[in-house]
Amino acid sequence: MVNVLILKKLMVSFLSLVAGASLIGLGAPRMIAAFVMFPSGPVIKKIQALQPAEPEELETLIASQKRGLSWSESGSMWMDLGLAQSLLAKKKKHDSPERIQLVDDAILSLRTGLEMSPLSPFAWMRLASVELLKAGPSPAAMSAFRLGLNMAPYEPYLAIARIYMGMALWSDLQPDERRLILQQARYAWNYRNGKKRLVEFVKNRPNHANLVRAALIRTPKKLAAFEDLLKILSK
């Protein structure tokens, strides 16, 4: 009887040891990935704060994400890699081999991330933006834009990007989709700190300014405030 109890205790200890080792084995790649991606943290925060990142910072982010993905992968890691690649592409000369390659890499990274996490409106908007960069208002750009817009039409942090994309794709949008773009302008205007950001965005883009005017035309006070702020920031 005593031997049986001892045997049971040994079996329990052995199974606990195996389970613990398995958990450590599963968690180790994620820990290593987090460690090698540590240098990318400040760059991601800078981008999230809508601050421009230098090419060297984006290259650091890309290298860190790739090292992390060699150990473990997630949708967000692929999406961050795609974002960095797309931002760096925009800093390269138009039609340069580096720009073309970065655009293709960004599309692949974002699509891979969306296969793993398809419910991110931010990633769909990023993909639409890169598809637009690659081939203009293409069916691929329109498809990604529509998916992101329909998924979260009132996401304040995407409003200005959607105005830009909406203007680029305007001729291919349906009437209800055009109304959604006008709503983005109204939403951006009413959101905290949105007025200045919206005016700064459109002050050098007459067509975009006209879209905001159309969005605010039913509210004369807001339209007048927009015109006043546009004059102040355009000086």
Burial class, 228, CB count within 10 angstroms (exposed 0-12 / middle 13-18 / buried 19+)? exposed
Contact 216, 226 (CB under 8 A): yes
CATH number for 54-152 (one of 1.25.40, 3.40.1000, 3.40.50, 1.10.20): it is 1.25.40
Query: If you write DSSP's letter for every residue of the chain in order, what string do you get?
Result: -HHHHHHHHHHHHHHHHHHHHHHHHHHHHHHHHHHHTGGGHHHHHHHHTTPPPPHHHHHHHHHHHHHHHTT---HHHHHHHHHHHHHHHTTSPTT-HHHHHHHHHHHHHHHHHHHH-TT-HHHHHHHHHHHHHHHSS-HHHHHHHHHHHHH-TT-GGGHHHHHHHHHHTGGGS-HHHHHHHHHHHHHHHHSTTHHHHHHHHHTT-HHHHHHHHHHHTT-HHHHHHHHHHHHHHH-
Q: What is the pLDDT of residue 189?
A: 92
Q: What ranges do the domains of the chain cover?
A: 54-152, 154-235
pLDDT the model gives residue 31: 43
pLDDT given for residue 16 in this prediction: 54
Q: Determine the pLDDT at residue 33.
A: 40
pTM over 0.75: yes
- Rounded Cα distance between 191 and 208, Å, is 18
**Per-residue confidence (pLDDT) for residue 159, from 0 to 100:** 92
Residue 51 confidence (pLDDT): 84
Instruction: Give the per-residue pLDDT at 28.
Output: 46
Mean pLDDT by 10 residues, the chain (235 residues): 55 52 47 47 78 90 89 90 95 93 97 95 95 93 94 88 92 91 92 85 89 94 93 82
